[in-house]
């Protein structure tokens, strides 16, 4: 496969060429070099992955390419050329003709990138009208609906009329992608494009990128910490660390035979489905850019490092001239074929205690309408959570998975009384939370915490990290000033942050650092239950590994229980004891973790599992593609909620009768009309009998 891709590349032309680029920033204490001697190329019709830990400079490189650097930043040396045009000397008019039209840059955080005061359709239409000169407003709107459909947003016409706050995090991400794709760009720069997407939407998006490359001969620079996504879709990959490129080459070569200790360590930190693999975070921390050590930038965290690595320049060396595989390492030949020996933490077996929270027939409906409205019209509420029952025990991690918009976040927030329930009951410590007094409710707030999906939106922008972490310590503990300072330092160490950031505000931190601060804040008062809403989706794989290990250890140490909401099933498998699969507001499968990932499983769970990208680029996945859109929760299907998209649908029984959640053995419950033997069959061999 490598030879074929390399042969294809020689026939292509260079679309983007970044050559020996240095990027500097002016800071209060002087200057820092955010990028140093960075080079990469993107050919027409190929996807180039850019990976590395948070703070390595990936987004800075993207901003430098399109000249979006902040006023205090500049490209100090090197060159950036797009399709022959010198981007560094281009005029304002030239840049306007290219940005958003021939080069689309999809930024990392859709919550802050989308205009909160404009409808989604108008934001897409602006780009179309500016660059494409449509014949009419109707033609522009048609393109808006087309691109919304391309990124798999249901009801494109209705979605175009919504504001960003009316969309889930994953839907916001897809709306940003729609803006980027609206003008069919030649170069698509995607900065963490799949971070907020569930696995099925991610799979469809990756297919869309392949179609875009094929149809328009577009080049793609894919910035992501998800190495599985790079393995599945990228032709070549570049590994960036603290502003320096450490390894580059074809994905097959780099991931199969990494020639740099950093690449090897990143692969070791990445959880994989059914791999019987213990994730191992990289010891130490990425160096501060104002204190770059001499020699190899990775030496302080590298098991191969010698004194020779700590002095002098370490050049990029050729690993394979035929494929263009290069590594910045004196000992790259020793690295190939070896195994990273990273520090690992000893896991203690978790023993579950009493029930912390019991949910019985919980419902959360929106837009229920007045009594008069319901009598005079066919008004139906939005059934975000519909008849959900679940129990969470001490020291237990329960995973909640499902596609974006299925009600996972709504369920989590309703459990903590951030939303009022429509019906059913929630009992915490054997007390109905609707019957708690004010003082008992304050105690409940201290005992039950939440970590939100978007850290930037949940951290006070006017407060320093010290103040952010001190607030819950003041509210919920009796620690004095000295004790709070010690606890703050302890918390930062637990989430792999240095005490040197305590004086910084959220906007001075990377996205991954912001999320780590949010996690530290949630653990500050040692709560008994934490709802974690996509807590590691924005973290690079090394920090993700350390956070997952931290969560597992705290489960044992403090008896803390978790409801872990995630679209990443490999993360769920790594940390959770039980899993609940949610679809259209309902729990359709629940089981101990090991059973959920082995047959029999619900057809929906089976589709989710098949959509997970594998780390091995040479392994083909037998993906199950779900047809159609997720139905609107205002008007869910009759019968089985999944029958409109189910690849194993029986027929009338699925359309008319809602299956109950039945135990198929060992506490494994599935809501499906099929029996367990049918759920084990290959889908292409599944027989459909409408007269059953």
What are the pLDDT digits (tens) for 176-189? 889 988 998 999 99
Is pLDDT at 266 greater than 60 in this prediction?
yes
Give the pLDDT of residue 692: 34
The superfamily in CATH containing domain 355-462+511-591 is P-loop containing nucleotide triphosphate hydrolases (3.40.50.300)
- The predicted-structure confidence for 506-532, as pLDDT tens digits, reads as follows 988 877 788 889 989 998 988 999 999
Give the pLDDT of residue 62: 95
Other residues' Cβ atoms within 10 Å of the Cβ of residue 31: 13
Give the pLDDT of residue 621: 67
Average pLDDT over residues 153-179: 87
Other residues' Cβ atoms within 10 Å of the Cβ of residue 641: 26
Q: What is the C-alpha separation between 58 and 76, in angstroms, rounded? A: 17
CA-angle at 191, arms to 189 and 192, nearest 5°? 135
- The predicted-structure confidence for 46-55, as pLDDT tens digits, reads as follows 999 999 988 8
CA 406 vs CA 171, 346, 664: distances in Å: 11, 36, 24
Among candidate residues 478, 539, 679, 524, the one with its CA nearest the CA of residue 192: 539
- The predicted-structure confidence for 628-637, as pLDDT tens digits, reads as follows 777 888 888 9
Burial status of residue 503 (CB atoms within 10 A of its CB: 0-12, 13-18, 19 or more): exposed
Spell out the residues 6+ positions from residue 368 whose beta carbon is closer than 8 angstroms to its own. 374, 381, 422
Is pLDDT at 690 greater than 50 in this prediction?
no
Confidence at 371, pLDDT banded by 50, 70, 90: low
Q: What is the C-alpha separation between 178 and 390, in angstroms, rounded? A: 36
Equal CATH topology for 2-102+183-335 and 355-462+511-591: yes
Q: What is the C-alpha separation between 172 and 201, in angstroms, rounded? A: 13
- Please state the pTM of the whole predicted model: 0.81
Q: What is the C-alpha separation between 283 and 542, in angstroms, rounded? A: 9
CA 110 vs CA 161, 284, 405: distances in Å: 17, 31, 16
Confidence at 367, pLDDT banded by 50, 70, 90: confident
CB 495 within 8 A of CB 516: yes
Q: What is the C-alpha separation between 114 and 169, in angstroms, rounded? A: 12
Q: What is the C-alpha separation between 253 and 49, in angstroms, rounded? A: 13
Q: What is the C-alpha separation between 559 and 352, in angstroms, rounded? A: 8
CB 205 within 8 A of CB 197: yes
Is pLDDT at 339 greater than 80 in this prediction?
no
Give the pLDDT of residue 261: 96
Confidence at 376, pLDDT banded by 50, 70, 90: low
Among candidate residues 320, 328, 332, 323, the one with its CA nearest the CA of residue 250: 323
For the chain, the domains span 2-102+183-335, 116-175, 355-462+511-591, 599-692
Please state the φ and ψ torsions of residue 219, each to the nearest 5 degrees. -105, 145
DSSP-assigned letters across all residues of 186-207: SEEEEESTTTT--HHHHHHHHH
389 in helix, strand or coil? Answer: strand
Average pLDDT, the chain: 87
Confidence at 369, pLDDT banded by 50, 70, 90: low
What dotted CATH number matches 2-102+183-335? 3.40.50.300
Helix (H) or strand (E) holding 94: helix 92-98
Other residues' Cβ atoms within 10 Å of the Cβ of residue 417: 17
Confidence at 687, pLDDT banded by 50, 70, 90: very low
Give the pLDDT of residue 195: 73
Average pLDDT over residues 566-586: 90
């Amino acid at each position: 496969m490598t030879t074929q891709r390399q042969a294809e590349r020689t026939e292509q032309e260079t679309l983007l060429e970044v050559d020996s680029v240095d990027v500097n920033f002016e800071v209060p204490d002087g200057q820092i070099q955010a990028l140093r001697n960075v080079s990469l190329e993107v050919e027409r019709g190929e996807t180039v992955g850019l990976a590395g830990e948070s703070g390595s400079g990936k987004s800075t490189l993207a901003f430098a390419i399109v000249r979006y650097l902040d006023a205090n930043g500049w490209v100090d040396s090197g060159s950036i050329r797009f399709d022959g045009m010198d981007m560094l000397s281009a005029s304002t008019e030239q840049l306007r003709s290219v940005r958003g039209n021939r080069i689309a840059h999809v930024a990392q955080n859709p919550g802050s990138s989308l205009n909160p005061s404009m409808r989604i359709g108008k934001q897409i239409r602006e780009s179309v009208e500016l660059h494409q000169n449509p014949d009419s407003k109707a033609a522009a709107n048609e393109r808006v609906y087309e691109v919304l459909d391309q990124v798999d947003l249901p009801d494109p016409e209705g979605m175009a009329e919504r504001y960003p706050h009316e969309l889930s995090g994953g839907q916001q991400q897809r709306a940003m992608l729609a803006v980027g794709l609206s003008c069919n760009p030649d170069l698509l720069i995607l900065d963490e494009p799949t971070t907020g997407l569930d696995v099925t939407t991610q799979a469809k998006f990756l297919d869309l990128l392949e179609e875009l490359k094929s149809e328009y001969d577009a080049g793609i620079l894919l910035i992501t910490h998800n190495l599985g996504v790079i393995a599945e879709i990228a032709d070549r990959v570049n590994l960036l660390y603290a502003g320096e490129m450490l390894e580059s080459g074809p994905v097959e070569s780099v991931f199969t035979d990494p020639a740099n200790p950093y690449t090897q360590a990143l692969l070791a930190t990445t959880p994989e489905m059914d791999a019987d693999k213990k994730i191992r975070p990289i010891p130490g921390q990425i160096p501060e850019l104002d204190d770059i050590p001499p020699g190899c930038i990775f030496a302080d965290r590298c098991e191969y490092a010698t004194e020779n690595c700590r002095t002098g320049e370490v050049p990029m060396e050729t690993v394979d001239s035929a494929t263009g595989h290069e590594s910045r390492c004196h000992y790259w030949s020793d690295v190939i074929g070896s195994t990273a020996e990273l520090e690992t933490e000893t896991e203690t077996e978790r023993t579950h205690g009493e029930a912390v929270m019991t949910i019985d027939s919980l419902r959360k409906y929106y837009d229920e309408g007045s009594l008069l409205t319901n009598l005079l019209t066919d008004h139906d509420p939005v059934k975000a959570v519909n008849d959900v029952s679940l129990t969470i025990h001490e020291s237990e991690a329960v995973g909640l998975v499902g596609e974006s918009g299925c009600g996972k976040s709504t369920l989590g927030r309703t459990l903590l009384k951030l939303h009022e329930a429509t019906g059913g009951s929630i009992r915490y410590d054997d007390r109905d939370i609707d019957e708690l007094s004010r003082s008992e409710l304050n105690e409940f707030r201290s005992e039950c915490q939440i970590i939100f999906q978007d850290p930037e939106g949940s951290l006070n922008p006017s407060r320093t990290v010290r103040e952010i972490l001190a607030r819950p310590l003041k509210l919920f503990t009796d620690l004095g000033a000295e004790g709070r300072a010690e606890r703050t330092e302890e918390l930062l160490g637990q989430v792999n942050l240095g005490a040197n950031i305590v004086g910084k505000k959220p906007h001075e931190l990377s996205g991954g650092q912001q999320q780590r601060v949010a996690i530290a804040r949630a653990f500050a008062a040692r709560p008994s239950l934490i709802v974690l809403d996509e807590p590691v989706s924005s973290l690079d794989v090394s920090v993700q590994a350390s956070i997952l290990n931290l969560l597992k250890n705290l489960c044992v140490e403090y008896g803390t229980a978790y409801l872990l909401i995630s679209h990443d099933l490999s993360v769920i498998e790594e940390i959770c004891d039980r899993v609940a699969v949610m679809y259209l507001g309902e729990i359709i499968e629940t089981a101990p973790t090991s059973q959920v990932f082995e047959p029999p499983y619900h057809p929906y769970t089976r589709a989710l599992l098949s959509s997970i990208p594998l780390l091995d680029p040479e392994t083909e996945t037998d993906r199950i593609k779900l047809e159609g859109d997720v139905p609107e929760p205002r008007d869910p299907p009759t019968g089985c909620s999944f029958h409109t998209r189910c690849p194993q649908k029986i027929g009338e029984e699925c359309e008319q009768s809602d299956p109950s959640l039945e135990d198929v053995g060992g506490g494994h419950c599935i809501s499906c009309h099929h029996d367990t033997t049918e759920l084990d069959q290959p889908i292409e061999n599944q027989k459909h009998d409408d007269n059953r």
